[in-house]
Chain A
Amino acid sequence: GGGAAGSAAEDEGPPAPQRVLFPPTFSVSEIKNKQRRHFMFLRWKQQQRKEKLAAKKKRRKEREALGDKAPPKAIPKTIENQRVYDETTVDPNDEEVAFDEATDEFAPYFNRQTVPKILITTSDRPRGRTVRFCEQLSTVIPNSHVYYRRGLALKRIIPQCIARDFTDLLVINEDRKIPNGLVLSHLPDGPTAHFRMSSVLLRKEIKRKGKEPTEHVPEVILNNFTTRLGHSVGRMFASLFPHDPQFIGRQVATFHNQRDYIFFRFHRYIFKSEKKVVIQELGPRFTLKLRSLQKGTFDSKFGEYEWIHKRREMDTSRRKFHL
């Protein structure tokens, strides 16, 4: 091993030999000199890569040679593939779930009995970024109003909102001049969801060339809300927007759930042909992560929690997601 290593080490100069044979007992980490060790490591890496490429080619040839009888291609493992099966996954034909949904708090919305009216507010003393974010959010969500919170307690705001026919309350919490939390409460004693908000981008920070969102009612896309919990959260989001989207506006608001992170985007689309659509991003974007879901309206002490994110128990597995 030493001899071969010695001879290989002599070729330190720029041109490396074409075929380097590393004897099996040779390990790159035995060389004390850093420069030489680095060089040998690079060469070892190159050799590994070559071997890998050769193996790939061989496999491909074999596959072609077999033709129809070749075994099916192996599917790469992704986190979504390996996800731990959640027993609360909603089956589209499940009657129980359908019955539940017909009688839960969102039933009046989905039966078109109520029109959503949203109140957007912040925590105390909002900073400029949060204020602008609230304004942009109110242009995205039709029929929404922004009110400045002057140190009022939420418990007192809620009865007033109900009296004025608001259906939803959206509170954006702020910390160190950036919005970082969202409390979404469906008002006539509906569920309250508390999210952690991250990666907030205002409209001017998004690299796009679109104009402002118009007053048209946007469409809503809810992706990947599979479990029972995800289903209820998805319905909460859906109930923010009026029922009949105006397709003339060609605007779409997307809530996409991936690995328990909900990404919100707002786009304008146009169909170039029937197989091709082009989207252009307008509007703010942010990501949400659900922290807790409460049964009644906002009440931190006496509320009945349907679901809380408990880090010790729920974050143990990398393949387990709850939404």
Chain B
Amino acid sequence: SSQVVWDVLGNRQFCSYKITTKTQNFCRNEYNLTGLCNRSSCPLANSQYATIREEKGRCYLYMKVIERAAFPRRLWERVLLSKNYEKALEEIDENLIYWPRFIRHKCKQRFTKITQYLIRIRKLTLKRQRKLVPLRRKIERREKRREEKALTAAQLDNAIEKELLERLKQDTYGDIYNFPIHAFDKALQQQDAESESESDAEKEEEDDEDMDKREFVEADDSELSDFEDMDKLETSSEEEQEEEEEVEKKASHSKSKGKTPLKGPARRKRPYIEIEYEEETEPTTKTKAA
């Protein structure tokens, strides 16, 4: 009659334990030995059957025989297996002696797998567990909004700049930056927009000069412009006396070499004095913002 049961349940009609997927059929029955839906693995379709199940860390061997098929309450006989792996295997063997090879083999395989996962569980509980804390959506949203508002209220850039200027005023930087207040204003008043101040100045023109010293141009234009400049230079302010000499030297240089041809027409347009000077020591603050 197990054959009849299989004919009905197996392929033709409905079995509530059966789960079909694209490639395979699984059996959800808790007494199933392999988990697949087969003629030899179905606990309903085999009158002599055995399984291994574990409860609270202990493994039991369940057996079903034809003699008890009429007594559902006493159908499955349960045997506690020892904790020792080898001993348990021997117990399985002695309980399932004279049983079909398939069931014996699968029982032992299942028992092995169960013991392995029990070992892993025990190992993992000793390690650190990751505690999952559920987030509350409303609170998360509230925090995010508050953070954004706090960010706009903070005005970080302004605050940082103010703090840095405060520190500058209180002289925490010492002598690195020399910004003498009064001299700065005075210098601004006296010099023109083109002239460079004593404090940090961009030295682009210096670089240009270095590059342009080597160029040769028609002498006519440059000579005229140089003449003009020479006049103006001699009447320049007496404050920058040291620089004057240097500039004069440069001007004389320029006559002979015809330097900065590109600035010729430009020079004519603007009647300003260009004062260049070189410092021996490069101050460390002169870095161009990239």
Binds B, one of A64-72, A90-98, A260-268: A260-268
Given A258-B150, A279-B161, CB of A153 within 8 Å of CB of B285: no
Given A223-B163, A278-B289, A311-B139, CB of A258 within 8 Å of CB of B153: yes
CB neighbours of A18 from chain B (8 A): none
Return the contact of B164 from the options A151, A198, A252, A273 (Cβ within 8 A): A252
- Give the shortest distance, in Å, between B122 (CB) and chain A (any CB): 17
Our count of residue pairs bridging A and B at CB distance below 8 angstroms stands at: 93
Using an 8 Å CB-CB cutoff, how does the interface string of B182-207 with A read, 1 for contact, 0 for none? 00100000000000000110000000
Whether A256 sits at the interface, judged by CB under 8 Å, is: yes
Whether B128 sits at the interface, judged by CB under 8 Å, is: yes
Return the contact of B146 from the options A80, A151, A261, A272 (Cβ within 8 A): A261
CB neighbours of B159 from chain A (8 A): 223, 254, 256
Bound-state Cα–Cα, A319 to B24, Å: 63
A273 touches B179 (CB 8 A): yes
CB neighbours of A277 from chain B (8 A): 161, 164-165, 168
CB neighbours of B181 from chain A (8 A): 274
Bound-state Cα–Cα, A278 to B154, Å: 18
- Give the shortest distance, in Å, between A84 (CB) and chain B (any CB): 16
Whether B144 sits at the interface, judged by CB under 8 Å, is: yes
Return the contact of B147 from the options A78, A153, A261, A279 (Cβ within 8 A): A261
B153 touches A254 (CB 8 A): no
Given A80-B153, A258-B153, CB of A274 within 8 Å of CB of B160: no
Whether B97 sits at the interface, judged by CB under 8 Å, is: no
Return the contact of A270 from the options B128, B156, B165, B285 (Cβ within 8 A): B285
Closest residue on chain A to residue B152 by CB atoms: A258
CB neighbours of B156 from chain A (8 A): 254, 256, 263, 265
Bound-state Cα–Cα, A78 to B152, Å: 12
B147 touches A151 (CB 8 A): no
Return the contact of B150 from the options A210, A259, A265, A311 (Cβ within 8 A): A259
CB neighbours of B200 from chain A (8 A): 271-272
Bound-state Cα–Cα, A211 to B284, Å: 18
Pick 22 A–B contacts, CB within 8 A, sort by A: A78-B153, A124-B130, A198-B143, A210-B290, A221-B160, A221-B164, A247-B176, A254-B160, A256-B160, A258-B150, A258-B151, A258-B153, A259-B146, A260-B150, A261-B151, A263-B154, A263-B156, A271-B177, A274-B165, A277-B165, A279-B164, A311-B139
Given A259-B150, A274-B168; 14 other pairs, CB 8 A cutoff: A80-B153, A153-B128, A221-B160, A248-B284, A252-B160, A252-B164, A258-B154, A259-B146, A260-B150, A263-B150, A265-B156, A273-B184, A279-B160, A287-B151
